[in-house]
């Protein structure tokens, strides 16, 4: 069992702590989530844990089994593709909004992030590439000022994060995604909403194609 970690006892903080534990791989798909164990790990009451699991069930990260408690929900590859198709539409909108709203400081931040992504690909630092890719997507959402869309995307990404991670660390994938991400950065930095929307559509369309291809790969789990 992972080490105990006290978190603030507010409902949102408990939800976030358990969500992060699931997304980071501490709890794998179909792993039972025992209220007593979670209460001990996060040093919060079982009532707070129970409420958090109900919230995560509504987000699709957890499923409650009658008379058996809760477990981490396994998302099929087919469902991950559907989720990514929805993400494509919403993230394209957010990229366009980000291009309209970007400040000089935010533009400088994105340019620096692009340089770090290129350096990580050159160095073959796959995990760093994955982390920077996720950070870029999250930063564009934040810059868009679309709070509702940001919440929707974060929930959708949470459901399909394992498939996205497995795809991100496939050999050669960082070199494919780098120019796609740089195109998103360039369009936002030029404050061109139409180009930003197209760049995101092209990038996430590429992700969808790669996920579909992965369905035929024995090395890529489908659940």
- Grade residue 221 by pLDDT with cuts at 50, 70 and 90: very low
58 or 177: which carries more pLDDT confidence?
A: 177
The Cα 177–Cα 173 span in angstroms is 6
In the chain, the percentage of residues whose pLDDT exceeds 70 is: 89
The ranges of the chain annotated as CATH 1.10.10.10 are 11-72
CATH number of 77-214: 1.20.120.530
* Cα within 13 Å of Cα(209), Cβ side: 9
- Confidence class for position 6, pLDDT limits 50, 70, 90: low
Q: How confident is the model at residue 213 (pLDDT cuts 50, 70, 90)?
A: confident
pLDDT of amino acid 59 = 83
pLDDT at 142: 96
> Model confidence over 107-153: pLDDT tens digits?
999 999 999 999 999 999 988 998 899 899 999 999 999 999 998 88
CA pair distance 111, 105, nearest whole angstrom: 10
The pLDDT value recorded for residue 216 is 57
- pLDDT value of position 165: 67
Q: Which pLDDT does position 68 carry in this prediction?
A: 83
Report the share of the chain in percent with pLDDT over 90: 57
Q: Has residue 220 got a pLDDT over 80?
A: no
Tokens of 110: 């994105």
Query: What is the overall mean pLDDT for the chain?
Result: 87
pTM of the model: 0.76
Provide the token pair at 138. Answer: 């999250």
**Residue 181 contacts residue 129 (beta carbons within 8 Å):** no
- Tell which CATH classification among 3.40.50.2000, 1.10.10.10, 3.30.450.20, 2.40.50.100 matches the domain 11-72: 1.10.10.10
Strand partners, 64: 70
DSSP character at residue 33: E
Average the pLDDT over 166-177 and give the result.
83
Most confident of the ranges 144-158, 172-186, 206-220: 172-186
Q: pLDDT tens for residues 13-62? A: 899 899 888 877 788 888 999 999 999 999 999 999 999 999 999 888 89
Exposure letters 189-218 (e unless 16+ CB within 10 A, then b): beebbebbbbbbeebbeebbebbeebeeee
| pLDDT tens digits for range 85-97 | 999 999 999 999 9
Sheet of 69-72: strand order equals 32-33, 69-72, 62-65
| pLDDT confidence tier of residue 7, bands split at 50, 70 and 90 | low
Q: Return residue ranges of the chain for CATH 1.20.120.530.
A: 77-214
């Amino acid at each position: 069992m992972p080490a105990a970690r006290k978190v603030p006892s507010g409902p949102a903080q408990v939800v976030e702590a358990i969500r992060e534990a699931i997304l980071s791989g501490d709890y794998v798909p179909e792993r039972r989530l025992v209220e007593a164990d979670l209460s001990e790990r996060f040093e919060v009451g079982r009532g707070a844990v129970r409420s958090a699991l109900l919230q995560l069930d509504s987000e699709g990260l957890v499923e409650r089994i009658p008379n058996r408690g809760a477990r981490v929900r396994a998302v099929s590859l087919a469902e991950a593709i559907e989720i990514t198709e929805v993400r494509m539409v919403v993230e394209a909108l957010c990229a366009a909004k980000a291009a309209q709203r970007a400040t000089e400081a935010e533009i400088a931040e994105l340019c620096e992030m692009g340089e770090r992504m290129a350096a990580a690909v050159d160095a073959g630092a796959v995990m760093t590439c994955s982390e920077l890719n996720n950070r870029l997507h999250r930063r564009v959402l934040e810059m868009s000022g679309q709070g509702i869309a940001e919440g929707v995307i974060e929930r959708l990404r949470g459901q399909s994060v394992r498939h996205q991670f497995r795809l991100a660390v496939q050999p050669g994938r960082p070199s494919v995604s780098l120019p796609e991400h740089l195109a998103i950065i360039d369009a936002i930095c030029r404050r061109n909403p139409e180009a930003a929307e197209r760049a995101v559509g092209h990038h996430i369309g590429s992700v969808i194609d790669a996920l579909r291809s992965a369905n035929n790969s024995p090395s890529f789990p489908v659940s």
